[in-house]
Amino acid sequence: MKLVLLLAAVAMCTVSGLGSAQNEPAKSAAAPAGAGQSQAAQPAAGEAGKSAEGEAGKSAEGEAAKPDLAKAQQIVSTVCAACHGGNGNSPSPANPSLAGQPADYITLQLAHFKAGIRANPIMMAMAAPLSADDMKALGAYFSQQPARTTGAKDADLASTGRKLFRGGNATAGVPACAACHSPNGAGIPARYPRLGGQHADYTLAQLKSFKAGERGMDKEGKDVNGRIMAQIAGRMSDADMRAVAEYVAGLR
């Protein structure tokens, strides 16, 4: 009888031990499943982090690219205003009005002055200390200023200029100015300047400079549009240049 009871007790202990051993792997197997879920969540969190960093980077780039108009106004007040006016409308017919000029065009011309591509001792000295951001800001500032029209003084001369500006001179090989500078003289942003309302004296001086090879003929040919203008002006007579300059002064 004692032997039977002893055998029964041993059997129960064995069964109990097996049950415990079978339960342990199940618990162990369940743990990796939880760990797997955690690992799966990590890439998602990483992607979200990258996305947030990307958006923050774009925002920072946007802020960096925004022109500093306050600094531009300070430069204008201390440097540019004497010749071009505080609002970009030059009081002197010998100096160009910059108000309403395409921002990219002004920025490019300043860069050309600084690099010596466009030769003008005064402007080269003025542009020398400017950074790329300064030039961009100045372009934005002047482009936002309302342009004033100086007005044509000689109606007959302006009438002749109107024909050349709009239709060109096929015989001389001079294309219509309006094709690049637009019919109202507003120009084409980033490529061609505004001529409407510009001082006739300044426009005439620039046409003569192009014709003489003093502008647009840099040795390395970096002033592409300037070279085109030099070729066109070379086919114009002094009378043609005077007429066009008079006409564009009256454009609004």
Domain ranges of the chain: 66-148, 149-252
- Say if 66-148 and 149-252 have the same CATH topology: yes
- The single residue listed with the structure tokens 């011309």 is 109
Give the Cα separation of 117 and 221 in Å (integer).
9
- The single residue listed with the structure tokens 């050349």 is 164
232, 192 Cβ separation under 8 angstroms: no
Residue 9's pLDDT band, with cuts at 50, 70 and 90, is very low
DSSP 88: S
Give the Cα separation of 144 and 117 in Å (integer).
26
Per-residue pLDDT, 252: 87
Statement: residue 12 has pLDDT above 50? no
Residue 27's pLDDT band, with cuts at 50, 70 and 90, is very low
The mean of the pLDDT values for the chain is 83
**159-194 pLDDT tens trace:** 999 999 999 999 999 999 999 999 999 999 878 999
Closest CA to 228 of 161, 181, 185: 181
Per-residue pLDDT, 23: 42
Q: Identify residue 58 by its one-letter amino acid code.
A: K
Per-residue pLDDT, 55: 55
Write the class of the CATH domain 66-148: mainly alpha
More confident residue, 8 or 149: 149
Per-residue pLDDT, 50: 55
Mean pLDDT, residues 16-37: 42
Torsions phi, psi for 250 (to 5 deg) = -95, 0
Torsions phi, psi for 89 (to 5 deg) = -100, 105
Provide the residue count of the chain: 252
Statement: residue 61 has pLDDT above 60? no
103, 112 Cβ separation under 8 angstroms: no
What six digits make up the tokens of 50?
């990258």
Per-residue pLDDT, 189: 86
147, 187 Cβ separation under 8 angstroms: no
Q: Quick one: angle between helices 103-115 and 132-143, nearest 10?
A: 140
What six digits make up the tokens of 84?
């071009």
Per-residue pLDDT, 62: 52
CATH of domain 149-252: 1.10.760.10
Give the Cα separation of 203 and 247 in Å (integer).
10
